[in-house]
Amino acid sequence: MRNRFPGYCYYCTTLVPKGEGHFEKRQGAKGFRVIHAECVFKQREEKAKAVEAAQ
């Protein structure tokens, strides 16, 4: 879901302007965290590499 409010990306820690990224609800906590759309892909790549390395 696109972020309706600006916030700081939890992946690269820089500002995500409104509508430029995605937000995720935090489990068991108030509020939400924000990530750039491009950082979602970077994070996925890293996870994929981690899986490859583990095999």
- Scanning the structure block, which residue is given the tokens 């409104």? 18
Joined tokens for residue 48 = 């994929």
**Minimum distance between the CB of residue 45 and Zn ion, rounded to whole angstroms?**
13
* Span 1-55, contacts to Zn ion by CB under 5 A: 9, 11-12, 36, 39
**Residue 3: how many CB atoms within 10 A of its CB?**
22
Handedness of CA 16, 26, 44, 55 (dihedral sign): positive
**Minimum distance between the CB of residue 55 and Zn ion, rounded to whole angstroms?**
28
- Residue closer to Zn ion by CB (options 37, 52) is 37
Q: Which residues bind Zn ion (CB under 5 A)?
A: 9, 11-12, 36, 39
